[in-house]
Amino acid sequence: MRTAMEDKKISDMTGRELRELIRDTVLEVIDPDYGLELRSEVEESLKDSIQDKEAGKGITLDAAKKELGIE
C-alpha cells in the first residue's frame, strides 16, 4: 500500500516531511522492525515472562543450554 508521502517528489515536500522521511529511513536501517507492532499474545507472553523473572521463577542459562542440548 502506497502512502501519499511515497508519491511525492522531494521538491514538493516540506522541510518537516523531508526530516520525517530521513528519520524513518535511518530508523528502519538501524532496526528492521521499526514501526511494527507486537501481536497482543506476544505482548502478554512477554509480560508474563517479566513477572516470572521478578518472582524468581525460571531457569539459569546453563540449565537452559543443557535442556536444549547445546552445551
- Same domain, yes or no, for 16 and 6? yes
- Same domain, yes or no, for 51 and 63? yes
**CA distance linking residue 43 with residue 38, whole number of Å:** 6
Question: Mean pLDDT, to the nearest integer, of 31-55?
Answer: 92
Angle at 60 between CA 54 and CA 63, to 5 degrees: 150
pTM for this predicted structure = 0.44
**CA distance linking residue 21 with residue 15, whole number of Å:** 10
* pLDDT of res. 70: 93
| Cell numbers standing for residue 58 | 525460571
**Domain enclosing residue 15, as ranges:** 1-36
- Same domain, yes or no, for 46 and 68? yes
Question: Mean pLDDT, to the nearest integer, of 9-37?
Answer: 91
Read off the pLDDT of residues 3-12 as tens digits, 9 standing for 90 and up: 556 678 888 9
**Nearest of 32, 52, 35 to residue 44 by alpha carbon:** 52
Query: How many separate domains does the chain show?
Result: 2
- Same domain, yes or no, for 30 and 43? no
Helix residue ranges, H only, the chain: 4-7, 15-30, 40-54, 61-68
* pLDDT of res. 1: 44
